[in-house]
Amino acid sequence: MARPSLTSWGAPAQLAGSAAFVLSLLLVTFLHLVIGEMAPKSWAIAHPEFAAKLIGLPSRAFIWVFRPLLRWVNAMANRLVAASGVTPVERAAVGGQDVDTIRHLVERSASVGALDASFRTQLSEVLELEHLTVGSLVAADTPVTAAPSDATVADVQEAAARTDHMRILLLDSAFEVPEVVHVRDTLLVSAQTPARTVSRPALTFDTGTPVYEALALAREHSEQLAAIMDDGRFIGVLTIADILRHVLPQQIDPADSAEEPANRR
């Protein structure tokens, strides 16, 4: 289209052909890079969840239909690469990036001044979560906010007001698993109602449970507080705030309570 237009304007045929080729190349490049790549990519980055839902099923359908062709093209490309003397690989190598290697990189970066000391401490604490157990984070001598098993709703609310904790344990030597009452659940019942009627078994972990596993289970059960048991004996509680305080000591105020602030809901 461009060449006839340029020719009709009196341009020489050879110049018109060269100009038409350059203009076509620029147009195709613009459509390919801007319209076909940069704009969709920017939109997908700005709306990741919606983009994933929108293109997820069409992408799977496309792959299912063209999988044989794609495998053939990939095999041919690998053969050409191998023929040039280079061993083809399917993905970037990530071997060797274990915890010890990352820890060495953190220490090295901090020693040469490339990493701030506060960040080194935080990263080191995160890496230690692989071996850290919940029992090591529980202070056995720290008093636990609790009420007796025969406590009433009024007793639970009084304990919450006194300690500023939203979750109150119900302890009894006869309980194999401590019960927990959230103050929110006591607001619509009378003050003399037994607290056991609005309690539920607390999420429990053995002292040898790895912290990362406890975090995953707490998130799965939507729990902020867990009871720590040692051979069936209750020894204390652990909250998400306790773990964050260990990993981010400078961001979590040591004076905060064990249920501050995430557990107040």
255 is a domain residue: no
140 and 224 belong to one structural domain: yes
Question: Which H helix or E strand runs over 228?
Answer: strand 225-230
Dig out the tokens for 20 from the structure: 């038409």
237 is a domain residue: yes
Q: DSSP code of 234?
A: E
pLDDT value of position 257: 43
141 and 241 belong to one structural domain: yes
48 is a domain residue: yes
Q: What is the CATH number of the domain that holds 183?
A: 3.10.580.10
The per-residue pLDDT string of the chain (265 residues; one tens digit each, 9 = 90 and over) reads 555 565 666 666 666 677 777 888 888 898 888 888 899 899 989 988 898 889 888 999 999 999 999 999 999 998 998 898 888 776 655 455 566 777 777 777 877 777 777 777 777 777 777 778 888 888 766 778 888 888 899 999 998 888 888 888 888 765 567 888 998 899 988 989 998 889 888 888 988 888 888 888 888 888 888 888 888 788 888 888 887 777 776 555 544 444 443 333 3
**Considering all CA atoms of the chain, what is the largest pairwise distance in Å, rounded to the nearest integer?**
102
52 and 123 belong to one structural domain: no
252 is a domain residue: no
173 and 209 belong to one structural domain: yes
138 and 60 belong to one structural domain: no
263 is a domain residue: no
121 and 186 belong to one structural domain: no
Q: What is the pTM of this model?
A: 0.49
221 is a domain residue: yes
pLDDT value of position 66: 93
State the residue range of the domain holding 34.
2-78
58 is a domain residue: yes
pLDDT value of position 98: 65
27-to-30, 107, 177 alpha-carbon distances in Å: 5, 51, 71
203-to-149, 179, 210 alpha-carbon distances in Å: 17, 9, 15
261 is a domain residue: no
107 and 158 belong to one structural domain: no
115 and 189 belong to one structural domain: no
**Cα 239 to Cα 214: distance, rounded to the nearest angstrom:** 10
**Cα 154 to Cα 137: distance, rounded to the nearest angstrom:** 31
Token pair 């969709």 is found at 40
68 and 169 belong to one structural domain: no
225 and 151 belong to one structural domain: yes
**Cα 137 to Cα 258: distance, rounded to the nearest angstrom:** 12
**How many domains are contained in the chain?**
3
